[in-house]
Amino acid sequence: MSAGCCDACTRRSRLVGRLAGHLEQRRADRVRIREVLALPDERLIEALGGLLAGEIAAEHAATDPDAVRAAWRAAGTTAVCRHAAGYPAGLSDLSDAPAVLHVNGDPGRLTRLLGAEAPAVAVVGARRASADGLQLASDLGRGLAAAGVGVISGMALGIDSAAHRGALEAPDPRTVAVLACGPEIAYPASRRRLHAELADRALVVSELPPGTPAYRWAFPARNRLIAALAGMTVVVEAAERSGSLITADLAADLGRDIGAVPGSPASWHAGGTNALLRDGAHVVRGARDVLDDVLGPRPADAGEQAGAGLALGDDLRALAEAVARGHATIASLVAAGNDPGAVLAGLTELELLGVLERRPGGRYVVGTA
According to the model, what pLDDT value does residue 356 have?
Answer: 85
Buried b (16+ CB within 10 A) or exposed e, 286-302: bbbbbbebbeeeeeeeb
Q: What is the CA radius of gyration of the chain?
A: 22
Query: What count of other Cβ atoms lies within 10 Å of the Cβ of residue 214?
Result: 18
pLDDT score, position 251: 96
CATH 1.10.10 applies to domain 302-366: yes
Average the pLDDT over 249-272 and give the result. Answer: 94
Cα distances (Å, whole numbers) of residue 11 to 44, 60, 65, 81: 13, 7, 6, 11
CA distances from 300 to 110, 148, 306, 307 (A): 34, 20, 11, 13
Give SS3 for 66.
helix
195-249 confidence digits (pLDDT tens): 999 999 999 999 999 999 999 999 999 999 999 999 999 999 999 888 899 999 9
Predicted pLDDT at 300 = 41
Q: How far apart are CA 182 and CA 214, in angstroms?
A: 8
H-run or E-run covering 159: helix 159-168
- What's the CA gap between 336 and 178, in Å, rounded? 40
Domain boundaries along the sequence of the chain: 76-293, 302-366
Please report which confidence band the pLDDT of residue 321 belongs to, taking 50, 70 and 90 as the band edges: confident
Average pLDDT, whole number, for the chain?
90
Work out the number of other CB atoms within 10 angstroms of the CB of residue 163. 34
pLDDT tens-place string over residues 154-175:
999 999 999 999 999 998 899 9
pLDDT at position 185 is: 98
Other CB atoms within 10 A of residue 105 CB? 22
pLDDT of residue 119: 94
CB 118 within 8 A of CB 89: no
- Which class in CATH covers the domain with range 76-293? alpha beta
pLDDT digits (tens, 9 = 90+) for 36-54: 999 999 999 999 999 999 9
Residues 6+ apart with CB under 8 A from 325: none
Q: What does the alpha-carbon distance between residue 17 and residue 46 come to, in Å, rounded to a whole number?
A: 15
Summarised one tens digit per residue, pLDDT across range 80-127 is 999 999 999 999 999 999 999 999 999 999 999 999 889 999 999 999
Check for a shared fold between 76-293 and 302-366: no
- Specify the amino acid at residue 341: G
Burial class (CB in 10 A: 0-12, 13-18, 19+), 126: buried
pLDDT band at residue 2 under the 50/70/90 scheme: very low
Local structure of residue 242 (DSSP, 8 states): -
pLDDT, tens only, 280-307: 999 999 998 999 888 876 544 333 333 4
Q: Read out DSSP for 290-318? A: HHHHHH-PPPTTHHHHHHTTSS--HHHHH
